[in-house]
């Protein structure tokens, strides 16, 4: 049985003596949420949310934002949803794609919000790079049309491998500290290696293939 990580669900499976696996995508969500809530990155994520809220609450500002993009199919902004960590990833990704248009509108709006600084942009670029393996892992293991349990262990190894490799390439101290934090908070993921049902077919999955995708 696959459930979320709630204690009552785990206890119920123990009482019923049912083989149980916590949802891997939910474990990823909890792992990343723990790190996103730290004081190191929360301030800049809060600023991003305020910027998105500003545009979404003002039809005039949003119209100017679309006009500033100077393209046939302008992007919209995405707001973070507290219950889904990857919404923060998509929010950051979209802001980075259209950072110039966002800054242009904010700077030309009376009493508007302060735009992101170059240092803050660099931090967001580091955050996007760090969160990218988790986003791909979430999408990969959330498939409803194929068996994914056998790829859980290679995916965990791929995440740790990619984070370790990118640490020296990060541009900011905030990004490096965040990477250290998220590497330490892997206690929810590593235990999957000790679950028989997860290990059964994991040896048939190519680690190189998985890491190339995440």
Residues 103-134 have pLDDT tens digits of: 999 999 887 789 999 999 999 999 999 999 99
Residue 45 has pLDDT above 90, yes or no: yes
Residue 10, CA distances (Å) to 5, 13, 72 in order: 7, 5, 50
Residue 6 lies in a domain: no
What is the model's pLDDT at position 212? 53
The kind and range of the H/E element at 14 are helix 7-16
This prediction has a pTM of 0.81
How many CA atoms lie less than 13 Å away from 97 in the CB half-sphere? 14
- Confidence band of 207 (pLDDT split at 50, 70, 90): very low
Residue 152 lies in a domain: yes
Weakest-pLDDT range from 113-127, 175-189, 196-210: 196-210
- Confidence band of 142 (pLDDT split at 50, 70, 90): confident
Residue 19 lies in a domain: no
Q: What is the dihedral of CA 147, 151, 153, 157, to 10 degrees?
A: -150
**Total number of domains constituting the chain:** 1
Residue 13 lies in a domain: no
Residue 160 lies in a domain: yes
Residue 16 lies in a domain: no
Domain range holding 146? 24-213
Closest CA to 128 of 162, 93, 77: 93
Residue 9 lies in a domain: no
Residue 68 lies in a domain: yes
Instruction: Check residue 132 and report its DSSP letter.
Output: H
What is the model's pLDDT at position 31? 85
């Amino acid at each position: 049985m696959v459930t979320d990580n709630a204690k009552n669900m785990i206890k119920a499976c123990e009482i019923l003596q049912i083989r149980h696996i916590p949802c891997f995508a939910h474990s990823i969500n909890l792992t990343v949420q723990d790190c996103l809530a730290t004081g190191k990155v929360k301030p800049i994520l809060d600023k991003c949310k305020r910027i998105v809220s500003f545009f979404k609450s003002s039809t005039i500002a949003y119209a100017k934002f679309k006009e500033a993009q100077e393209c046939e199919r302008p992007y919209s902004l995405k707001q973070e949803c507290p219950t889904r960590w990857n919404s923060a990833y998509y929010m950051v990704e979209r802001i980075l794609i259209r950072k110039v248009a966002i800054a242009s509108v904010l700077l030309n709006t009376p009493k508007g919000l302060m735009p992101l600084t170059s240092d803050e942009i660099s931090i967001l670029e580091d955050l996007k790079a760090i969160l990218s393996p988790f986003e791909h892992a979430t999408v990969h293991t959330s498939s409803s049309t194929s068996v994914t349990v056998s790829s859980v262990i290679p995916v965990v190894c791929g995440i740790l491998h990619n984070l370790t490799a990118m640490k020296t390439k990060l541009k900011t101290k905030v990004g490096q500290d965040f990477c250290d934090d998220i590497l330490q908070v892997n206690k929810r993921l590593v235990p999957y290696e000790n679950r028989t049902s997860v290990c059964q077919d994991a040896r048939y999955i190519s680690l190189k293939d998985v890491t190339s995708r995440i």
